[in-house]
């Protein structure tokens, strides 16, 4: 018997070897290559996903400052209280009710709500309460510590909250942003700068969640957001908003008002307001009283919830919209300054040209009325501007022709967005050159056809007076990083030269004349050289489409100060006044005047009085009590006042004076001085006359006849102004010499 291995055995051994080493190993090697090399990226990603735990370090959102570095918007740290129902179930199910009860008490949340949430044990992240302060967090911490609870069951997570310390101030410019980074205003427009970059701590953890003993942890620091320094001035913004608000309620504006103050040379927006606005701290509240009433009416009418929500959303959409850039309006007569400037630039008219107005113009069969039904007769160019004569501007428009009118329309930037750094800028509506016929040209010439945004309007107005340069308006002066380094700085961008410097100069004179005409319109302020133009447009499209029950108006006023070397342009647009007044000079001009009165000196523009104006200056009554007659008279004369003595002047002293010291009244007024022992009951009395409806001269005469002094308020002292109110009602008695404040207003389209 042979014990040796045989050849066939060896062949079979080879077969097994080949099967095992070549076939099986080859197959496995290919699978290994596939698993290790081909799927490398995919598997590494899966590995990282399960091994790496990372938590986010929230970047601090940048602050928004006004131009004097006053905070307008900033982020503060708050905390969210988190409950993990899954962990409660895992570690301490017996404490569930106790935890819910304790938290309900601390957080002021309903116990039942918490308990219900805690019963969903599949969840590990339930936000019990959002945005609580440090104290609450400490209370929760103490609650956990004291009762020996697990800190995985309940814990606080850092979050941040945006706060706007000035509430409604500049809300339409600042805007706000929600968690999905959708929003309005600068917060949305500059979100990429403001939000910063969140940091992360990435660490590698084992399957139990503990950090591995390797140096895998890497920390990516958060990069805090950049801050914005605006061109907005908090103080001027406040003045603007305050006065707009007064107008909104006084003239019962149905569609809000907006105001802009812009640097005429640089395009920097100094103030921009929409009134009524909203408080970005609580943007969903309805701030416009009219809208609140609408909603209340709807719920009283048993409207469905969906309907109310839809109405609410419409209201919110409007409320959060920046009227100055996102809404269109018909510019009306303010537009005449562009027609005028274009015509002067093209030399189709000169200052000597004359225009005739019969109160109605016939353009290719279409009759266009002048606001002054009686007609203005013959006017020069300046007079046509002062009188805001429509037929005159129809004529000027026709003289210009479609092509040139369209050329300047485009040159003044009415066909494009201004490019202001705010979101939602609207596109203007206008008749293109190709479609413009004589009727469209005529109505466009006095601003009754095109629809533009207030920001387009003020930018173009700046170009008219600043030497013809159309600039790009801007709100953000510079962007600074968290260390204070300037990241980006705004530059004045001159888009084009719309008109020549000479034409601009002429326009400045015309616009100054508009304000000072007839002794001063509603925007006139003594000591200041102000130019401007009012506008009253018919919202004919809304009326025709049935949006408004009756024809409504937009009252606007555009002012430039100082007009000889323009620094600031201001535009006020009051949409749909329903108080009975409609004219821009009556509604919008007083806003301009009031803001200028409060703000011009703050803006660094000081009054320069002419001799005439100085004579008409208001003076403060000095204290003359205890003086003898000679000294008292000398004192009053020095102050520009007259004295009238009652009682013996011989050796006696002044014991009483009307009006009292500190009262402001026009120079040349009379102060009653009571000499010696005269009881109060013996003081001379006067009956206040009715001066309403009188001109300044008439009112002055009536009051001085009654032995009273007049103090003129409201801007106008010109011949067109009429008294609309007096501080002491007619028929009342007052001490002789008392100052009665009379408010005058020019209630027509002049000025």
Partner 1 sequence: MSDNNRLSYEQRKAMYEQNIRDTDGRRQADKLRDVPSAEINGSKNKRPSGKHKAQRIELKPPKPAQPEIKPASDSTAAADITAGTVLSAIKRKFPKLDAPLMDYTPNSKRGRFDMPLFTVVLILIVMGIVMMSSASYAYALKEEGNSFAYAERQLVAAVIGFVFMIILSRIDYHAWAIPIKYLRRKRREKAKNGNGLNPAMLFFVLSCGLMVAVMLFGDSVNDAKRWITIFGVQFQPSELLKVACILLMAYMLQKNYERRSSLWYGFLKYWFVIVPATVLCYAQRHVSAMLIVMAIIFLMMYVGGCNTKGLLAIVAFVILACFVLLYVVKWDYLTDRITSWTQPFSDMGDTTYQTSQSLITIGSGGWFGLGLGNSRQKYYYLPESQNDFVFSIICEELGFFGGMTVILLFVLFEIRGFIIAGKAKDKFGSLVALGITVQIGLQAILNIAVACNAIPNTGISLPFFSYGRSALLTQLAEVGILLSISKQADT
Interface with partner 1 includes 197 (CB under 8 A)?
A: no
Interface with partner 1 includes 302 (CB under 8 A)?
A: no
Total Cβ atoms within 10 A of residue 488: 15
Stretch that binds partner 1, among 13-21, 146-154, 238-246, 360-368 (CB under 8 A): 13-21
Interface with partner 1 includes 12 (CB under 8 A)?
A: yes
Which alpha helices (DSSP H) does 574-692 contain, by range?
584-587, 589-599, 611-615, 629-638
Interface with partner 1 includes 6 (CB under 8 A)?
A: yes
Residue number with CB closer to partner 1 (46 or 351): 46
Residue number with CB closer to partner 1 (13 or 732): 13
Q: Let me know if 92 is exposed, middle or buried by CB neighbors in 10 A (0-12, 13-18, 19+).
A: middle
We find the least distance from the C-beta atom of residue 20 to partner 1, in angstroms, to be 5
Bridge partners (DSSP) of residue 19 are: none
172, 191, 204, 503: which one contacts partner 1 (CB under 8 A)? 204
Stretch that binds partner 1, among 23-31, 546-554, 575-583, 610-618 (CB under 8 A): 23-31
Q: What are phi and psi of 331, to 5 degrees?
A: -70, -25
Cβ atoms of residues 533 and 557 within 8 Å: yes
We find the least distance from the C-beta atom of residue 28 to partner 1, in angstroms, to be 5
CA distance linking residue 170 with residue 231, whole number of Å: 12
**Does residue 75 sit in helix, strand or coil?**
strand
Interface with partner 1 includes 134 (CB under 8 A)?
A: no
We find the least distance from the C-beta atom of residue 82 to partner 1, in angstroms, to be 25
Strand ranges in 23-89 using DSSP code E only, listed in sequence order: 52-57, 64-65, 71-83
Residue number with CB closer to partner 1 (6 or 545): 6
- In sign, the C-alpha dihedral spanning 541, 544, 549, 555 is positive
Stretch that binds partner 1, among 20-28, 281-289, 342-350, 597-605 (CB under 8 A): 20-28
> In angstroms, what CA-CA distances link 114 with 92, 97, 99, 156, 694?
16, 9, 9, 16, 71
**Does residue 417 sit in helix, strand or coil?**
coil
Give the tokens for residue 494. 């001159």
We find the least distance from the C-beta atom of residue 123 to partner 1, in angstroms, to be 18
Strand order in the sheet with 642-646: 642-646, 670-675, 654-658
Strand 486-489 and strand 476-480: the pairing is antiparallel
Interface with partner 1 includes 28 (CB under 8 A)?
A: yes
Stretch that binds partner 1, among 30-38, 283-291, 300-308, 477-485 (CB under 8 A): 30-38
Instruction: Annotate each residue in 210-229 with x if it binds partner 1 (CB under 8 A) or - if it does not, as one string.
Output: --x-x-x-------------
Total Cβ atoms within 10 A of residue 82: 17
CA distance linking residue 162 with residue 177, whole number of Å: 9
135, 179, 208, 347: which one contacts partner 1 (CB under 8 A)? 208
Interface with partner 1 includes 10 (CB under 8 A)?
A: yes
196, 197, 207, 243: which one contacts partner 1 (CB under 8 A)? 207
- Region label for 84, one of left (φ > 0), alpha (ψ between -120 and 50) or beta (otherwise): beta
Residue number with CB closer to partner 1 (36 or 127): 36
Site for partner 1 in 37-96 (CB under 8 A): 37, 39-40, 42-44, 46-47, 50-51
Stretch that binds partner 1, among 118-126, 199-207, 594-602, 659-667 (CB under 8 A): 199-207
Stretch that binds partner 1, among 25-33, 374-382, 549-557, 590-598 (CB under 8 A): 25-33
Residues near partner 1 (CB under 8 A), total: 46
Interface with partner 1 includes 687 (CB under 8 A)?
A: no
Stretch that binds partner 1, among 33-41, 101-109, 129-137, 321-329 (CB under 8 A): 33-41
Residues 6+ apart with CB under 8 A from 683: 646, 656, 658, 672, 674, 735, 736
Cβ atoms of residues 465 and 531 within 8 Å: yes
Strand 64-65 and strand 227-230: the pairing is parallel
Residue number with CB closer to partner 1 (41 or 146): 41
Interface with partner 1 includes 611 (CB under 8 A)?
A: no
We find the least distance from the C-beta atom of residue 311 to partner 1, in angstroms, to be 49
We find the least distance from the C-beta atom of residue 23 to partner 1, in angstroms, to be 10
Q: Which residues bind partner 1 (CB under 8 A)?
A: 1-10, 12-14, 16-17, 20-21, 24-25, 27-29, 31-37, 39-40, 42-44, 46-47, 50-51, 204-208, 212, 214, 216
């Amino acid at each position: 018997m042979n014990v040796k291995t045989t050849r066939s055995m060896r062949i079979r051994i080879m077969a097994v070897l080949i099967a095992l080493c070549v076939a099986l190993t080859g197959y496995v090697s290919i699978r290994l290559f596939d698993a290790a090399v081909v799927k490398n990226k995919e598997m590494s990603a899966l590995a990282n996903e399960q091994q790496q735990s990372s938590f986010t370090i929230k970047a601090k959102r940048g602050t928004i400052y006004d131009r004097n570095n006053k905070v307008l918007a900033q982020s503060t740290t708050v905390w969210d209280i988190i409950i993990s129902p899954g962990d409660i179930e895992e570690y301490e199910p017996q404490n569930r009710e106790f935890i819910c009860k304790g938290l309900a008490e601390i957080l002021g949340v309903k116990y039942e709500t918490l308990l219900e949430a805690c019963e969903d044990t599949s969840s590990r992240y339930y936000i019990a309460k959002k945005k609580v302060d440090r104290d609450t967090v400490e209370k929760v911490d103490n609650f956990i510590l004291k009762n020996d609870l697990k800190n995985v069951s309940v814990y606080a997570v850092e979050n941040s909250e945006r706060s706007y310390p000035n509430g409604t101030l500049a809300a339409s410019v600042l805007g706000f942003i929600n968690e999905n980074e959708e929003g309005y205003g600068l917060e949305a427009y500059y979100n990429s700068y403001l939000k910063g970059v969140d940091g992360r701590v990435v660490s590698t953890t084992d399957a139990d969640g503990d950090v591995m003993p390797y140096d895998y942890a890497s920390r990516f620091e958060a990069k805090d957001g950049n801050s914005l320094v605006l061109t907005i001035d908090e103080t001027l913004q406040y003045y603007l908003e305050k006065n707009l608000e007064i107008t909104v309620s006084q003239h019962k504006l149905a569609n809000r008002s907006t105001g802009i103050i812009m640097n005429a040379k640089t395009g920097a927006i100094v103030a921009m307001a929409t009134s009524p606005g909203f408080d970005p701290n609580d943007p969903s509240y309805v701030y416009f009283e009219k809208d609140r009433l609408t909603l209340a009416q709807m719920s009283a009418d048993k409207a469905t919830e969906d309907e109310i929500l839809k109405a609410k959303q419409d209201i919110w959409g409007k409320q959060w919209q920046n009227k100055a850039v996102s809404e269109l309006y018909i510019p009306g007569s303010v537009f005449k300054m562009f027609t005028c400037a274009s015509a002067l630039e093209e030399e189709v008219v000169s200052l000597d040209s004359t225009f005739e107005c019969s109160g109605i113009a016939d353009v290719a069969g279409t009759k266009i009325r002048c606001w002054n039904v009686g007609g203005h007769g013959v006017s020069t160019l300046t007079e046509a501007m002062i009188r805001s004569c429509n037929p005159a501007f129809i004529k000027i428009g026709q003289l210009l022709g479609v092509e040139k009118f369209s050329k300047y329309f485009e040159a003044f930037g009415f066909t494009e967005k201004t490019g202001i750094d705010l979101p939602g800028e609207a596109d203007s509506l206008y008749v293109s050159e190709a479609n413009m016929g004589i009727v469209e040209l005529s109505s466009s010439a006095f601003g009754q056809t095109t629809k533009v945004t207030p920001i387009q309007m003020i930018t173009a107005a700046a170009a008219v007076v600043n030497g013809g340069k159309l600039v790009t308006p801007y709100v953000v002066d510079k962007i600074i990083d968290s260390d204070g380094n300037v990241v980006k700085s705004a530059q004045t961008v001159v888009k084009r030269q719309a008109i020549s410097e000479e034409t601009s100069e002429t326009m400045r004179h015309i616009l100054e004349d508009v304000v000072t005409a007839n002794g001063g319109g509603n925007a006139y302020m003594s000591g200041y050289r102000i130019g401007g133009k009012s506008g009253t447009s018919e919202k004919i499209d809304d009326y025709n489409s049935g949006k408004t029950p009756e024809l409504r108006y937009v009252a606007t006023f555009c002012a430039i100060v100082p007009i000889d070397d323009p620094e600031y342009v201001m535009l006020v647009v009051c949409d749909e006044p329903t108080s009975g007044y409609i004219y821009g000079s009556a509604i919008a001009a007083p806003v301009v005047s009031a803001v200028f009165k409060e703000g011009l000196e703050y803006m660094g523009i000081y009054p320069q009085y002419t001799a005439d104006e100085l004579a008409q200056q208001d003076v403060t009554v000095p204290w003359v009590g205890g003086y003898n007659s000679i000294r008292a008279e000398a004192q009053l004369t020095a102050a520009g006042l007259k004295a009238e003595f009652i009682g013996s002047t011989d050796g006696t002293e002044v014991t009483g004076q009307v009006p009292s010291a500190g009262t402001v009244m026009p120079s040349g007024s009379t102060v009653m001085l009571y000499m010696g022992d005269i009881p109060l009951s013996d003081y001379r009395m006067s009956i206040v006359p009715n001066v309403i409806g009188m001109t300044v001269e008439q009112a002055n005469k009536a009051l001085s006849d009654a032995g009273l002094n007049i103090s003129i308020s409201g801007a106008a002292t010109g011949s067109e102004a009429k008294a609309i109110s007096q501080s002491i009602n007619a028929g009342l008695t007052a001490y002789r010499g008392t100052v009665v404040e009379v408010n005058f207003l020019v209630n027509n389209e002049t000025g």
